[in-house]
Amino acid sequence: MGVKVTQRTGKSGWWVSIIHNNSRKRKRFSDKKVALEFAKKIEAKIKWAEANGSPVVFSRPEQVMPTLKAYMENWLSTYVDNNCKFSTASGYRQVCKKHLFPPLGSRPLDQVTRKDVKDLVATWNSQGLKKRTILNFLTPLRELYNHAIDDGTVTANPVAKVGMIVKGCKASSAHIEPLTAIEVKALLATTKERYSFLYPLFLCAVRTGMREGELIGLQWEDIDFLGSFIEVRHNVVRRQETSTKTNRIRRVDLSPQLQAELLKLKENLQLESSMKGYAFPKWVFLTPHGNRMTNEVLRKGFYACLEAAGLRRVRFHDLRHTFASLLIQQNANVKYIQQQLGHSSINITLDVYSHLFEGDHR
């Protein structure tokens, strides 16, 4: 005789196995706590029956349907964390906490209807959220229900055919504010004067178009000074090392100005580490305390430099758009721009920067 609670490898849900009088019965539960409680009751029932010489009669238990929040949290920790990039898992958690749990979290998983989802989308749309943002909010919800269907917890996905749900939402318009060549010059001059430790980083941003996380994750081993290029292979998201956005390694060219600046930075770091007796850092861009650069330090310095230079307030990501904009103005080949930016498709490059291309240059 025995009662065991187990979980199948790679699967969600918990199984209670009952072996008694040469027979075996199994029952699946989506919630571990409910499974343990059921197993405890069965064990007590068997012990009482054996003590009193009575037959054991097993009634079919009624499974308690978990709430959306409980099931989602279990799915995030057991599946998403083990199968998705850190940035994806972190993004899912933010969406759930801010946008999904407040309106739907307390509802039983099988009682969230398609109308509930449509009403939620209508609310987001009325708040001015764009179609792309709404689709991003719905992604973890859709994937959750696909998972729940696969493990037998529910039979329908209220977020299926998501295109129909967001059909009436306003399409996202490109939000791009590249700096002009004159503004870039002013920004770099101010940075060099007031925040010199950020100057090589900002110069690298406007000369390579690398993403913020790619710049923070840049290591000296990624730079080929003889070949005059950088291999973009690392990314840092919320202080966690991860792969690049497209999971690919790409090469970006070093301009003579940037190459000279990075060589100068490396020589200074080598001299400083030698004089102070510590190991040469593997990270290219550091905080004033000698640690790997952080998003907080980078952005605080960036906005301070914009203000000090008398420039309009743009996002740091707009330095990436600035790089692309300057290449387009120089009549660079679209394929080259795509490769430098690391877009998975040339269509993405054309879609994002369509308003910057003119005539046959597209």
Answer whether residue 12 shows pLDDT above 70.
Answer: no
Axis-axis angle for helices 199-208, 181-194 (nearest 10): 160
pLDDT in tens, 109-166: 999 999 999 999 999 999 988 888 899 999 999 999 999 998 888 889 999 998 888 8
CATH topology for the 68-165 domain: DNA polymerase; domain 1 (1.10.150)
pLDDT at res. 361: 44
pLDDT at res. 174: 57
Answer whether residue 317 shows pLDDT above 80.
Answer: yes
Decide which of 135 and 30 is more confident.
135
Answer whether residue 1 shows pLDDT above 60.
Answer: no
pLDDT at res. 362: 41
Answer whether residue 173 shows pLDDT above 90.
Answer: no
Q: Which of 207, 213, 120, 124 is nearest to 172 (CA)?
A: 124
- Find out if CATH 1.10.443.10 is the number for domain 181-361: yes
- Give percent of the chain above pLDDT 90: 61
pLDDT at res. 5: 84
Q: Of the ranges 210-219, 252-261, 273-282, which one carries the lowest mean pLDDT score?
A: 273-282
Q: Provide mean pLDDT across the span 310-326.
A: 96
| Residue 322, burial from CB neighbour count under 10 angstroms (0-12, 13-18, 19+) | buried
Q: Of the ranges 41-50, 205-214, 291-300, which one carries the lowest mean pLDDT score?
A: 41-50
Answer whether residue 175 shows pLDDT above 80.
Answer: no
Among 29-38, 166-175, 219-228, 247-256, name the most confident range.
219-228
- Give percent of the chain above pLDDT 70: 92
pLDDT at res. 289: 92
The number of residues in the chain equals 362
What kind and span of H or E run contains 87? helix 86-95
Answer whether residue 57 shows pLDDT above 50.
Answer: yes
Residue 102 DSSP code: H
